Amino acid sequence: MEVLLQLVINGILLGGLYAMIGLGMSLIFGIMGLINLAHGDLMIISTYMSMVLALHFSGNVFIALLITVLVMMVVGFFCQSVLINRVLDKGAEPPLLITFGLSIILQNVLLLIFGADAKSIPTKLAAQNAITTPWFSISAIYLINFVISILVILSLHFIIMKTYFGRAIRATSGDVVASELVGVNTKRVYAVTMALAMVTASIAGLLIGMTFTYTPTTGTQYLIFAFGVVVIGGMGSLVGTLLGGIILGLAQMLGSYFFGMAYQLFFGYVVLLVILTFRPEGLFARTK
């Protein structure tokens, strides 16, 4: 029984991290209608970048994160302005091809530089417990992941709902022509949205690096998680993304409990398929 409780807690905490991973994809698809196939790889690039910077700054992950976030924001802004904006109005396929191509390039660049061996960002937090009770314990890194994820989601929610630029983002996702006609520079909105997605991806990347091991191709696995989160939670809803992540996390943990560790990922995807069958727009989607 305690094992089950522990798994449920872990599932929820992990779900927060999964929600962070899906957040960038949810933003980009919800606002630009673009599926970024390079999302997972951009996240893992930040993981590697954080790793290198953390080593350089004697294990200081805060500086590493700060620099990584800034660099990734510029990368995101650049990708959007130079690569993606050109093909957004040319149908659904060109953006998919471009992001797919980007994904391949990024994975292979990482492979060339770092090789295929699994790496991790060393931290004492992974081995520590933040809370220990007779019935369950909460790993420090899992708790940190969850808290940071909630903070990021709440901040994003605040930006989008309460600021002028956030309103411009919402308008652009509703009707590009009408937004332009009130003076919104919609291409710039897209670029900033991409930059915001990059911020969430870099934070997620660092957290992943501290929690799990990774290789240049790990990005693809997380891309699928991101898809899962977004599909389960529904598009265009930040709360939905959080709940989608938690459901995916719980599904994985419960799957491993009832069917064995080997079935952890599998069970997560079974739940995804079930939801896709009965409610394809996602559990918490805003009706379009």
Partner 1 sequence: MLSQEDRTLLTVENLDVHYGDLQALHNVSLHIPQGTIVSIIGANGAGKSTLLGAITGLNKPTRGKITFRNEDISGIHTHDVVSKGITMSPEGSRVFEKMSVEENLLMGAYLSRARKKRKELLKRVYGLFPVLKEKSGQSATYLSGGQRQMLAIGRALMVDPEVILCDEVSLGLAPVIVKDIYHKIVEINREGMTFILVEQDVKRSLKYSDYSYVMVKGRIVMEGPSSQLPEGEVKDAFFGISKYA
Stretch in the footprint of partner 1 (CB under 8 A) among 165-173, 200-208, 209-217, 221-229: 165-173
Torsions phi, psi of 232, nearest 5? Answer: -65, -45
Instruction: Please choose, from the candidates 110, 117, 123, the residue with its C-alpha nearest in 3D space to the C-alpha of residue 210.
Output: 123
For residues 165 and 192, the answer to whether their CB atoms sit within 8 Å is: yes
Measured between alpha carbons, how far is 15 from 21 in angstroms, rounded to an integer? 10
Q: Is 181 in the site for partner 1 (CB under 8 A)?
A: yes
Q: Is 168 in the site for partner 1 (CB under 8 A)?
A: yes
Pick the binder of partner 1 from 1, 112, 127, 182 (CB under 8 A): 182
Pick the binder of partner 1 from 26, 68, 139, 186 (CB under 8 A): 186
Q: Is 180 in the site for partner 1 (CB under 8 A)?
A: yes
Q: How many residues bind partner 1 (CB under 8 A)?
A: 18
Structure tokens given for 41: 């790889």
Shortest distance (Å) from residue 227 CB to partner 1: 24
Q: Is 177 in the site for partner 1 (CB under 8 A)?
A: yes
Measured between alpha carbons, how far is 29 from 244 in angstroms, rounded to an integer? 15
**Nearer CB in complex with partner 1: 179/211:** 179
| Continuous segment of H or E residues that includes residue 132 | strand 129-132
Q: Is 157 in the site for partner 1 (CB under 8 A)?
A: no
Q: Which distant-in-sequence residues (6+ apart) come within 8 Å of 12 by Cβ?
A: 146, 246, 249, 250
Question: Scanning the structure block, which residue is given the tokens 């990774």?
Answer: 214
Shortest distance (Å) from residue 94 CB to partner 1: 18
**Nearer CB in complex with partner 1: 33/115:** 33
Residue type, 212: F
Question: Scanning the structure block, which residue is given the tokens 């390039």?
Answer: 105
**Nearer CB in complex with partner 1: 2/175:** 175
Site residues for partner 1 per CB under 8 A:
164, 167-168, 170-171, 174-175, 177-186, 286
